[in-house]
Amino acid sequence: MKVLVVVDVQNDFMPSGSLGVPKGDEIVPVINSIQDSFDLIIASQDWHPNDHISFAKNHKGKKEFDQVDVKGFSQTLWPAHCVQGTVGAQFHPDLKTNRIETIFRKGTDKNIDSYSSFFDNSKLKSTGLSGYLREKGATEVYFCGLAADICVYFSTKDSLSEGFKSFLIKDASKPLNEGTFTKQKAELKELGAHVISSNDLLKS
């Protein structure tokens, strides 16, 4: 079974959002165009409480993109984004969501940040995605979305470590930092992931 995981295609990650990814809106029609290539489509959604530990506003004397230590882990302080129940946390309005069977919400614990769709950053909590994919009989898992160099990257990497044949759809993902993403794509290939384009799916 071929499964598409649409990672965090939410308003706050769009260019006009509070944590905008450059040209992030350009991936929406690409994701829409490839949906028929999959047996199952699921999505992840950043879903933070307003007092989340990753928000710079919740650290007195700190500013956005500072690094702080949280229980022995380096934590980037982000602009407040994808706060539970807000418009910024909603999926982009042009994203076709009818075929999304399940949504896995992450970052819901105010004390733990969570980039991957599988686990929080400290691997203390699972979203349940791995078990869900196994029960569904997933044989190939494809990732796309935002931001490519953060949540998509960590999701793909965790998918590999969970034993799934994993694919990253590069033109259906946009990074905050292109240079970082270029290095990550090479790393993921070395780990066994397949980095493809949407055209590879549409041709098959």
Q: How confident is the model at residue 36 (pLDDT cuts 50, 70, 90)?
A: very high
pLDDT in the model for residue 12? 98
The region that residue 8 occupies, defined by phi over 0 for left and psi between -120 and 50 for alpha, beta otherwise, is left
Could you say which of 149, 151, 170, 174 is catalytic? 151
Chain center to CA of 148: 7
Tokens linked to 53 = 């530990």
Active site residue 144: no
| Whether residue 122 has pLDDT greater than 90 | no
Condensed to tens digits (0 to 9), the pLDDT of residues 9-18 reads 999 999 999 9
**Length in residues, the chain:** 204
Active site residue 39: no
Residues 7 and 61: their CA atoms lie apart, in Å, by 32
| Whether residue 167 has pLDDT greater than 80 | yes
Chain center to CA of 114: 10
CA distances to 23, 72, 99 from 153, rounded to whole Å, are 18, 22, 23
pLDDT in the model for residue 204? 62
The residue written with tokens 């919740």 in the block is 58
Exposure letters 189-199 (e unless 16+ CB within 10 A, then b): eeeebebbebe
- Please give the CATH number for the structural domain made up of 2-203: 3.40.50.850
pLDDT in the model for residue 168? 98
pLDDT in the model for residue 4? 98
Could you say which of 46, 106, 157, 170 is catalytic? 106
Residues 131 and 136: their CA atoms lie apart, in Å, by 9
Helix (H, G, I), strand (E, B) or coil at 54: coil
Q: Which residues pair with 153 in a beta bridge?
A: none
Q: Based on the number of CB atoms within 10 Å of its own CB, is 125 exposed (0-12), middle (13-18) or buried (19 or more)?
A: middle
